[in-house]
Amino acid sequence: MNAGAQESWPSPRSRSWRTLFVVAMVIASVFPVTISPHATSRLGTDAPTSRFQGKQGEVLFIEVPVADHAGEVTGQFLGRRVLFFPLRSQTYAGLLGIDMEDAPGQHELHVTIRHPGGRRKLIYPITVLPEAYPTQRMTLPKNKVELDAATLKRVRTEQQTLLSVFESVTPHPLWEGPCVEPVEGRVTGVFGSRRIINGYPRNPHSGEDIAAPTGTPVRAMNAGVVRMTIDHFFTGKGVIIDHGMGLFSMYFHLREIAVEQGQRVHRGQVIGTVGSTGRATGPHLHWGVRLNGARVDPYALMRLPLGR
């Protein structure tokens, strides 16, 4: 098949396009929060160039109409895979993570639907909107910022170890229903913030910090499998949970870890307690989420219709 981009677009009169539109309207009526412009996604009405849009760090819930017996539905967005799962009859759904540093502007989600009889391609225009991230200035002990050669080597190895977890993707959802907050506490609202540590710009903050007293229970945001427990220089004691479909959650700076690698956890299960291990200015939970390689705002997940 050698269809160009334009030929792959659903025609405004095609059944598939109408189905998509109807599905979008159904979502709009059932999940008003989900599709408000500030939340996760919006499907405009200017067919055929209707598009999804979301801010940096947000997650789009994308439904794809399929024939009855689609074998597999996969997508590509900015070089990252997007996986789709059967949602109901003739509909697959996928979670598309917009990385906190994806360039604002027009992009395309390429979806491939494989049937026993062949395959079909759809191209969804996706608009990435810029998020106004705050700048956060912090002062940390010199030995936590200016690393000696041995520590730098340790940090690099630990980063590779962490990244290796995300390479094994469970191709079906392990989550059960909507996500929950892992800790009740004061959310510091620093997801994506540009960090200036001891006067020097550093990597942006890829998670959310929730301040809570040492020893406060930390709960799994959803059901899944514990893929790794760590004790790293920056993260301190941490737990990484695989929720399926390329969705992983991370819990760092724990005082204690209450689960083991390979263990299944249910939504809300206590996996450890709040601490200040690793590089932390005080007791808090660092809650991070990776979605097929994209660093997304954990709170964006709580607005998704993950009911099953």
Q: How far is the CB of 18 from Zn ion (least distance, A)?
A: 45
Q: How far is the CB of 131 from Zn ion (least distance, A)?
A: 17
| Cα dihedral 60, 299, 99, 132 in deg (nearest 10) | 110
129, 53 contact by CB (below 8 A): yes
Cβ-based nearer residue to Zn ion, 136 or 292: 136
CA separation for the pair 262, 223 (Å, rounded): 13
Q: How far is the CB of 221 from Zn ion (least distance, A)?
A: 15
Q: How far is the CB of 196 from Zn ion (least distance, A)?
A: 15
Q: How far is the CB of 199 from Zn ion (least distance, A)?
A: 19
Cβ-based nearer residue to Zn ion, 295 or 303: 295
Q: Closest-CB residue for Zn ion?
A: 286
CA separation for the pair 279, 144 (Å, rounded): 7
Cβ-based nearer residue to Zn ion, 286 or 303: 286
- Alpha-helix residue ranges (DSSP H) falling in 101-219: 149-165
119, 113 contact by CB (below 8 A): yes
Cβ-based nearer residue to Zn ion, 192 or 293: 192
| Cα dihedral 230, 188, 52, 62 in deg (nearest 10) | 40
Cβ-based nearer residue to Zn ion, 20 or 254: 254
State the DSSP string of 32-75: HHHHSTTSS----SSTTS--EEEETT-EEEEEEE--TT--EEEE
H/E stretch holding 113: strand 105-115
Q: How far is the CB of 291 from Zn ion (least distance, A)?
A: 18
Cβ-based nearer residue to Zn ion, 98 or 210: 210
Binding site for Zn ion (CB under 5 A): 207, 209, 286
CA separation for the pair 140, 300 (Å, rounded): 29
CA separation for the pair 146, 302 (Å, rounded): 36
Q: How far is the CB of 280 from Zn ion (least distance, A)?
A: 8
Cβ-based nearer residue to Zn ion, 65 or 192: 192
H/E stretch holding 163: helix 149-165
